[in-house]
Structure 1
Amino acid sequence: MKLLKSWYLILVLALPSLFAFATQTLTGTINLIMVGDLGFVVIAVVGVSNIIMYNVFAIFSGIGHSVNYLVAQNFGAKEMRKGMQRTYLALIVSLAVALFIALAGWIGSDAVLKLTGGSEKLLATGNAYLELRFYAMSFGIISFVFHGFFRGVGNTRISMVVSIVANVLMIVLTYGLTYGHWGLPELGIIGAGYAILIGEAVQLVICLIVFWGPMHRRFQTREIQKPDWLELKLISRESGKLGLQEFSMSVSMYIFTIFVLTLGDLAAAANEVALSVMSFGFMPAFAFGSTATILVGQEIGQGKPRQAKLAGTNTAILGTIFLIALGTAELIWAEPIARLYSDDPGVYELAAYLITVSAYLQIFDGFYNFYAGGLRGIGDTTFLMRSSFVLSLFMFVPLTYLFVMVLDWGSIGAWLALYSFLIALGLAVMIRYYRTDFNSVRLKQAQA
């Protein structure tokens, strides 16, 4: 009975996060399908821009991740005054970061796109689109801090609703602005960029309304706490470690994309289609990983180390069940799914092959997310940073170079390198989780 209650609590927290991440993933998928009619060069542009934005987000995502686990610990310990103080400090940092991202997009989006080594046609088509994506990210990085707070206090439903509203708006505007429907101008791929920008801006506005509105009754969110510079130091340090963890993975994916681009625009398009489909596997991995952070962090805050470790284990079990079911569906319907993105036989046949190969291997990506979420909950951010950095740059990148550039294994070589890396990372994080003595874990505190 106790196990069923535990699983029920996990699902109550995880399913809204799952729907939120599903909406984000589905939005990217639908948008890619909609712009796919503009040709495979446009598909490649969107794919390359996604990788670039993933890197930008990863560098600064640690701000939201740190708020998530710190607030979860404060919530469990009934110290929400400190949790609010940490949230406002994180918002100040994220505002400064947002201004930097917007400036970087305005000045250097064309230079960043050139670094990918894509064709002249890809560069000419994607420059303005990428600039708009930078502006959209400046809003998104602030919203991510609010989502970290919402999840930290266990209110994943609000996070879900905000994500659904913003992403549905992006889909509607992408269709209207790309092809000129509903009286909107026909802007092509530029319209798709404006759709994402408007959607992210609206999401931030909704987050502000929820945070200062309904959330105020319980957490006094409109009462700005006196800044504590030691807490600011803690936020900066934890954000830096978690940001480096994500960035080392994202920059290795960026290099991975550069290697794939050497295979031609068709291979790049097929790679983007396969990554888009496989992102449906990342979706439950992220959702259950976020749930592990919430539950483990809150149990640690309540001084219950044994329950904290068990919560992480149960979350991983349920998440793995979801991934097995999803991988089976992807394995059976790989080609029909790939055809939704493109009617070019070269694109959908190669994409379907890549999807088939990785259908069950994505379980190891799940292990990484589940147990990394648990380790974030106890504040073991240093190990996450080091393992991600070492395996990304000293295993994944060299293997991709070896398989693609030296052995000339093409797209399948690139994906074998990707999943070799994910298997190693998933196992490393899982072993760390079970070798950690949770009885020695203490609440994360600012130190002089």
Structure 2
Amino acid sequence: MEDLHSKKGVRSEVNKIAGPVFIELLMGTLFGMVDMIMLGNFGDNATSAAGIASVGITNQLVLIGLSLVQALSIGATAMIARYMGGHREDRVESVVKHIILITQMFLAIPIVILSISFAPGLMKFLGAHGDTIAIGSTYFKIIMLGFLFQSLNFAIFASLRGVGDTKTPMKINVFVNLLNVIGNLVLIYGLMGFPALGVTGAGISTALSQVIATILSLIYILKKDSTIHINLKEKFRVEKDIIFNLVKIGVPASLEQIAMRLGVLLFIRIVASLGTVAYATHQIAINILSLSFTPGQAFGIAASTLTGKSLGADEPVLAEKYIKTCSKIGSLVSGFMAIIFFFFGGAIASLYSNDPQVIGQAGQILKLIAFIQPFQSSSLIVAGGLRGAGDTIFTLMSSFIGILIIRVALAYYFVIIVGTGLVGAWLAILIDQFIRWILVNYRFRTGKWKYVVIR
């Protein structure tokens, strides 16, 4: 049997957890890029720009909601991993039930009701111009309705990853993302007898794919032989310790996500002031950047799960090895992506749009994205390890300083005062990522995260 403390054993465990997550996120991002490319090639330049912009505006609100769900899910993943490491598997089902009920009752349902009731006003607040609101308001409502199912899937998948099951979320997500791409192709362009619905068709396909993912997820966790089994016949009881842990880990994580999303919103409003074409270009760059998030996110999830499990088994040295190994492998993959973005940025951007102005600007931005890669990947992974330990207060501080203060202030200075345009906004992102990389790595080196207690 392979020694988990050896380099080979640590690397094997990391790849076992991170591999399926990386494939899942990579395929999901690639499918998302295909969706954006479809919209970018639908209609004339003005229509395609407004369509892409409406997706970007809607995604801002979806990401706010998902970030709050994710914050609570971080608590669930950390708790489940600790319980598994400490051989307290009997506690897992209760954690899953708590996280599903709390996310639906206190986050998903209120967000959906508010967003559908005030759709045009919210879009305008998020920086949408009149053409974007006219084309994208129906898309906005449909996507937000699908958020009910998306948030439920998020909570279930986070729980599965807590026990080390990353293959099930991968299989479900890859399958439904493939269905979504096919649905988008049919409904955006009007194939197989369907009308050409443009961005509205993309919304319908995306929401339906979330519904299918929910059905598949529920079927899986209700099976007796699943990695997490939920017994609906067993009466649900509120447990103070689980609520305490969720509050202790989830509240700082929620505040971190609120700070991040508020910072991004303010940043987006600065970018949106440059006009619809500039915003569409920015959205294309963000869409491509999301591809480079995948190594950091995948190995960050692996770091979170393996750190929690190791600390649950009272092995802090092993937890540190896992975080370092995750960071090394994730950074190598991100470095490879950086080279591609630097040399082939213009060619990648040309897939999204025929507009020479958009392609030229996006190509410049992708060169900046290449420099962002090493800092982004490392900070995502190390922060994932800290969260897996339940150390969410410091990650809150680093995100608050980096995104809400540094990124917004510098973007305002570069774009509004100096007048550098979109490139200046992305320079602000680069500096923000560098500062956060310094902060989270400093916290990791102190070793204080090893002593966070979970009930």
- Give the TM-score taking structure 1 as reference length: 0.95
> Does 2:75 match 1:77?
no
The residue that corresponds to 1:401 in the other structure is 412
Which amino acid is 1:23 matched to?
A: M
Deviations 1:85-136 (A, max 9, x none): 1111111101212211221222112111011333211121111111111111
Could you tell me how far 1:161 is from its partner in structure 2? 0.4
> Does 2:375 match 1:361?
no
Select the residue among 22, 30, 41 that pairs with 1:26: 30
> Does 2:415 match 1:411?
no
Name the CA shift for 1:392/1:442 in 2 (closer, same or farther; >3 Å). closer
The residue that corresponds to 1:94 in the other structure is 103
Deviations 1:235-269 (A, max 9, x none): 24432221221221122122211111111111111
Could you tell me how far 1:333 is from its partner in structure 2? 1.1
Contact 1:73 1:443 in 2 (8 A): no
Once the two structures are overlaid, the 10-residue window that deviates more, 232-241 or 140-149, is 232-241
Cα separation, 1, equivalents of 2:271 and 2:350: 21
Once the two structures are overlaid, the 10-residue window that deviates more, 102-111 or 313-322, is 102-111
Name the CA shift for 1:215/1:293 in 2 (closer, same or farther; >3 Å). farther
Contact 1:324 1:360 in 2 (8 A): no
Which amino acid is 2:98 matched to?
A: L
Select the residue among 21, 24, 41 that pairs with 1:37: 41
Contact 2:264 2:404 in 1 (8 A): no
- Give the TM-score taking structure 2 as reference length: 0.94
Gap regions ≥5 residues in structure 1:
none
Name the CA shift for 1:110/1:343 in 2 (closer, same or farther; >3 Å). same
The residue that corresponds to 1:123 in the other structure is 133
Cα separation, 1, equivalents of 2:384 and 2:448: 16
The residue that corresponds to 1:166 in the other structure is 176
Contact 1:104 1:134 in 2 (8 A): no
The residue that corresponds to 2:164 in the other structure is 154
> Does 2:403 match 1:392?
yes
Cα separation, 1, equivalents of 2:229 and 2:161: 17
Deviations 1:315-354 (A, max 9, x none): 1011101101111111121111110000110111110110
Contact 2:53 2:280 in 1 (8 A): yes
Give SS of 2:274's match: coil
| Residue correspondences, number | 443
Could you tell me how far 1:383 is from its partner in structure 2? 1.3
Gap regions ≥5 residues in structure 2:
43-47
Cα separation, 1, equivalents of 2:376 and 2:40: 28
> Does 2:12 match 1:8?
yes
Give SS of 1:227's match: coil
Give SS of 1:360's match: helix
The residue that corresponds to 1:331 in the other structure is 342
Which amino acid is 1:102 matched to?
A: V
Cα separation, 1, equivalents of 2:282 and 2:225: 42
Which amino acid is 1:49 matched to?
A: T
The residue that corresponds to 2:45 in the other structure is none
> Does 2:323 match 1:312?
yes
Give SS of 1:361's match: helix
Matches within 5 A, 1:237-386: 237-386=248-397
Could you tell me how far 1:224 is from its partner in structure 2? 5.3
Which amino acid is 2:52 matched to?
A: I
Could you tell me how far 1:178 is from its partner in structure 2? 1.2
CA RMSD of the aligned region, Å?
1.6
Deviations 1:254-307 (A, max 9, x none): 221111111111111111111111111111110010000011111111110111
Cα separation, 1, equivalents of 2:354 and 2:347: 11
Could you tell me how far 1:219 is from its partner in structure 2? 4.7
The residue that corresponds to 1:430 in the other structure is 441
Cα separation, 2, equivalents of 1:219 and 1:64: 15
Which amino acid is 1:89 matched to?
A: H
Contact 2:40 2:51 in 1 (8 A): yes
Cα separation, 2, equivalents of 1:129 and 1:237: 36
Cα separation, 1, equivalents of 2:369 and 2:41: 26
Once the two structures are overlaid, the 10-residue window that deviates more, 175-184 or 221-230, is 221-230
Moved over 4 A (4+): none
Which amino acid is 1:18 matched to?
A: F
Cα separation, 1, equivalents of 2:211 and 2:412: 39
Contact 1:361 1:419 in 2 (8 A): yes
Select the residue among 134, 137, 143 that pairs with 1:133: 143
Cα separation, 1, equivalents of 2:76 and 2:31: 26
Contact 1:215 1:221 in 2 (8 A): no
Once the two structures are overlaid, the 10-residue window that deviates more, 117-126 or 150-159, is 117-126
Contact 2:271 2:422 in 1 (8 A): yes
The residue that corresponds to 2:451 in the other structure is 441
Could you tell me how far 1:421 is from its partner in structure 2? 0.6
Contact 2:307 2:320 in 1 (8 A): yes
Give SS of 1:359's match: helix
Cα separation, 2, equivalents of 1:3 and 1:232: 37
The residue that corresponds to 2:213 in the other structure is 203
